[in-house]
């Protein structure tokens, strides 16, 4: 799922292309993607885009006549931009087409489980349903960050990715943040010391700012192409790097798998050498599951 740095990169690419431009036409290719009935999406046609912003991980297009289009890409949704001209359909993955004078914006989703959504609202009051309440970690003060962490007792990984607490952090960047902070993903927030929270606060800001600037530089002057907004970047430290060496200490990156997600971490840097039980395998291996870096290395 695109997270804060990815969303900001998309916004930087979208603004010069569509803000101030009339939305000439909208074609919904997959009916399931449109989740509202009133106002009709056809009412947006011909209206100029006044601004584009975000609510958490959702894109908000503000149009004339107090109309708003809210798009949530979910896990596999992405934006594609094509030059002005006849809109060529994108087979199978195309969900909707937004035509502007400068070009054509495609909403696509490369997944069988279609989860991306489009909502149309009249007036800002309708946007409230999309606001989960999470704070922007790049602007919130340290005290508010600490208060939200301690509001409920969860693992720090879950807390960072909870949209009710924090805004725009998902599976990929939470792994990178926790690695930078040197904290275990399963450490309970109630157990965090003041020093650990301060370290996590700084690591969160530093990581998100670093990747935001890196992506802005990468996409400067162009629109992100297919596959370029991804949760698996070659220069990530740990996310998606299972079995590869930690860039800090060279210990092999480990993982915890659950449902369709995977948490990656460095056991030496983050868990004092302890290998956390992978639920999908520990049920099979039971007491044979390695509990330390040394045990793990001896079995590989």
Q: What is the pLDDT of residues 80-118, one digit of tens each?
A: 999 887 656 666 788 999 999 999 999 999 877 788 999
What pLDDT is recorded for position 94?
87
What pLDDT is recorded for position 111?
79
pLDDT, tens only, 38-61: 999 999 999 999 999 999 999 999
What pLDDT is recorded for position 279?
64
What pLDDT is recorded for position 30?
84
Contact residues for 136 (Cβ-Cβ < 8 A; gap 6+): 167, 168
Would you tell me how many other CB atoms lie within 10 Å of the CB of residue 78? 22
What pLDDT is recorded for position 21?
96
Give the CATH number of domain 4-130; options: 3.40.1360.10, 3.30.365.10, 3.40.50.300, 3.20.190.10.
3.20.190.10
The overall pTM is greater than 0.75: yes
| Stretch (H or E) spanning 218 | helix 194-218
Determine the Cα–Cα distance for residues 196 and 149; give it in Å rounded to an integer: 11
- Among 77, 74, 82, CA closest to 93: 77
Phi, psi (rounded to 5 degrees) for 246: -60, 135
- Is residue 182 helix, strand or coil? coil
What pLDDT is recorded for position 259?
66
Q: Look up the CATH architecture of domain 142-298.
A: Orthogonal Bundle (1.10)
In the predicted structure, residue 26 carries a pLDDT above the cut 90:
yes
Please give the C-alpha separations between residue 213 and each of 8, 37, 54, 176, 208, in angstroms, as whole numbers. 10, 38, 18, 15, 9
Contact between 268 and 251 (Cβ < 8 Å): yes
Q: What is the dihedral of CA 277, 278, 284, 288, to 10 degrees?
A: -40
Contact residues for 142 (Cβ-Cβ < 8 A; gap 6+): 198, 201
Query: How far is C-alpha 158 from the chain's CA centre?
Result: 14
pLDDT band at 285 (very low <50, low <70, confident <90, very high): low
Alpha helices (runs of H) in 122-193, residue ranges in sequence order: 142-149, 156-161, 171-181
Average pLDDT, the chain: 90
Peptide bond into 206 cis (omega under 30): no
pLDDT, tens only, 188-201: 999 999 999 999 99
Determine the Cα–Cα distance for residues 160 and 61; give it in Å rounded to an integer: 27
What pLDDT is recorded for position 296?
47
Query: Quick one: CA dihedral 211, 213, 218, 221, positive or negative?
Result: positive
In the chain, list all ranges with CATH 1.10.8.50.
Answer: 142-298
Would you tell me how many other CB atoms lie within 10 Å of the CB of residue 164? 14
Choice among 24-33, 39-48, 90-99, 178-187 with the minimum mean pLDDT: 90-99
**pLDDT: which is higher, 261 or 124:** 124
What pLDDT is recorded for position 261?
79
In the chain, list all ranges with CATH 3.20.190.10.
Answer: 4-130
In the predicted structure, residue 203 carries a pLDDT above the cut 80:
yes
In the predicted structure, residue 300 carries a pLDDT above the cut 90:
no
The distance in angstroms from the start CA to the end CA of the chain is: 32
């Amino acid at each position: 799922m695109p997270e804060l740095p990815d969303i900001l990169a998309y916004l930087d690419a979208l603004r010069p292309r569509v803000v101030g431009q009339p939305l000439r036409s909208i074609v919904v290719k997959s009916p399931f993607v449109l989740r509202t009935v009133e106002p009709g999406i056809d009412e947006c046609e011909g209206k100029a885009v006044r601004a584009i912003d975000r609510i958490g991980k959702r894109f908000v297009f503000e149009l004339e006549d107090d109309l708003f289009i809210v798009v949530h890409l979910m896990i596999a949704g992405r934006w594609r931009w094509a030059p002005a001209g006849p809109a060529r359909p994108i087979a199978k993955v195309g969900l909707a087409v937004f035509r502007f004078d400068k070009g054509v914006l495609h909403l696509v989703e490369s997944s069988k489980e279609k989860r991306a959504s489009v909502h149309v609202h009249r007036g800002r009051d309708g946007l409230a349903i999309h606001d989960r309440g999470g704070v922007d970690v790049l602007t919130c003060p340290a005290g508010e960050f600490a208060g939200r962490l301690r509001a409920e007792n969860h693992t720090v990984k879950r807390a960072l990715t909870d949209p009710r607490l924090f805004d725009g952090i998902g599976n990929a960047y939470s792994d990178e943040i926790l690695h930078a902070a040197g904290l275990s993903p399963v450490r309970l927030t109630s157990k965090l010391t003041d020093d650990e929270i301060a370290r996590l606060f700084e690591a969160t800001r530093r990581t998100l700012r670093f990747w935001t600037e890196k992506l802005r530089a990468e996409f400067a002057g162009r629109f992100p192409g297919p596959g370029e907004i991804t949760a698996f970047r070659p220069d990530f430290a740990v996310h998606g790097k299972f079995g590869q060496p930690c860039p800090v200490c060279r210990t092999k990156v480990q993982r915890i798998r659950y449902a369709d997600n995977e948490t990656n971490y460095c056991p030496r840097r983050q868990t004092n050498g302890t290998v956390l039980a992978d639920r999908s395998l520990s049920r099979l291996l039971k007491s044979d599951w390695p509990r330390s870096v040394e045990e793990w290395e001896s079995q590989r």
